[in-house]
Structure 1
């Protein structure tokens, strides 16, 4: 039994035989346990428990399906298990598009978030910045590339220098999921069941769409449900996809070097 499993067992008062490690959980340990009344609870570990709980509660408050928070205890977050079937049918994609549009219509006053966060070992500097291109350049691209080898850093810095001409200065500050791919989208019965594992902040809505299309291929019903995009979205998409690609390069190594190189080349560096 891991130290986290021992902590969860003691916290909820169950024996270790009632704990089951869930698939996934690349960035933190995730366990499932069944309560005596039959309910299933997911336990997640990590230093950002209170921040994630606040994000989940915010999503729920604006009507976006997510995993209900059952409790938070220092380094343990307890969530109600959301049943899902993993079938991304056209109806499910339409439901996802509708919910994402609803999320993005919830606007903030600036770009950023009240507290910093992290994706695994990759810190997210969420300090508010009045210029969206500067936020993306400094808080996301340059900061994420700062620990990479010099050739990577220099290419990313050249991209950052061109963002004032590529990105809108002040797009609507949409509420973003921040880590949107199908692994963080639960579906059941042809509908969205929950968005999970958020890394929220306010920014250009295209950020979520770019990440979703980097790792997945939403169906036509998704785009019809989400609605029209601003002209030039395809050009900006590479700049937005570069950030999650850099995160994956840092977290999971050289297997993502080709992706980063491709995106940098598309951006002319």
Structure 2
């Protein structure tokens, strides 16, 4: 009996009849399992699945749709299987409302109870009370030695200006932390958040990530509601972090994304 089959049997009391890979496995393996008792579940395998399970629980506790965690053991996370449908206006509206609800839940400081990672890129989350200091030290300059020297110098110059460019103490909202459309599962008129990298921070960071590879439609914005003045000027500061992650994970093809954000900010 395979290790996965044994884990499923111990957690759910049934064996795996069939398995097929699902999309979204760039940094971990994700499979749809059909069990011998007729149930279908999603299995995700990776080193940080227990942390992900806790994040999914936090999202659901906030009243926001996310897959139900069915069990965790070792490197295996088992979740409910959801029927995926194409994005619709109703789905985008549901995502806007869900994200507004998520961001209405706030924590005591910026950060999270434990660190996380995107593959080989560590995400330090040790809490800080100052938001510009968090964005500089825990995000943009979390690993300065991993950056090309010219980029590091430009980012250091930007970080020295962050107290002027970012609010000092925005509400410490519950963030998804990796919110691009591939991490939203539309199902009918609902929108479920998947593959989170949660922490407490400025809600605009999630919105900036959602705009990194395209703009959500009007239905999303109408449901999310009014944004704070100056949000467009801050967007490239917040997009710089996922751009740096992509550069480190996937190589020089993402250098232009980093350069364009820095240049737009004058660095």
Does the CA contact (< 8 Å) of 1:112 and 1:129 recur in 2? Answer: yes
Does the CA contact (< 8 Å) of 2:121 and 2:249 recur in 1? Answer: yes
d(CA) in 2 for partners of 1:265, 1:145? 19
Q: How big is the shift at 1:6? A: 4.0
1:267 aligned residue: 265
Q: How big is the shift at 1:36? A: 1.9
2:233 aligned residue: 235
What aligned pairs does 1:90-239 form with structure 2 within 5 A after superposition? 90-192=89-191, 194-239=192-237
d(CA) in 2 for partners of 1:253, 1:83? 33
1:24 aligned residue: 24
1:37 aligned residue: 37
d(CA) in 2 for partners of 1:160, 1:16? 50
Does the CA contact (< 8 Å) of 1:145 and 1:152 recur in 2? Answer: no
d(CA) in 2 for partners of 1:145, 1:229? 32
RMSD: 1.6
Q: How big is the shift at 1:61? A: 1.5
Does the CA contact (< 8 Å) of 2:17 and 2:36 recur in 1? Answer: no
d(CA) in 1 for partners of 2:126, 2:184? 27
Does the CA contact (< 8 Å) of 2:8 and 2:16 recur in 1? Answer: no
Residues 57-79 of structure 1: CA deviation (Å, up to 9, x unaligned) = 11112211111101000111111
1:10 aligned residue: 6
Do residues 70 (structure 1) and 70 (structure 2) align? Answer: yes
> Any gaps of 5 or more consecutive residues in structure 2?
none
**Structure 2 SS opposite 1:250:** helix
Residues 215-261 of structure 1: CA deviation (Å, up to 9, x unaligned) = 23211111111010110000000000000000011111111111111
Report the count of equivalent residues.
Answer: 263
**Structure 1 SS opposite 2:219:** helix
d(CA) in 2 for partners of 1:79, 1:234? 36
d(CA) in 1 for partners of 2:201, 2:48? 21
**Structure 1 SS opposite 2:211:** helix
Q: How big is the shift at 1:175? A: 0.4
Residues 112-134 of structure 1: CA deviation (Å, up to 9, x unaligned) = 11111111111111011111000
Q: How big is the shift at 1:184? A: 0.6
Does the CA contact (< 8 Å) of 2:166 and 2:234 recur in 1? Answer: yes
Does the CA contact (< 8 Å) of 1:144 and 1:247 recur in 2? Answer: no
Does the CA contact (< 8 Å) of 2:15 and 2:35 recur in 1? Answer: no
> Any gaps of 5 or more consecutive residues in structure 1?
none
**Structure 2 SS opposite 1:169:** coil
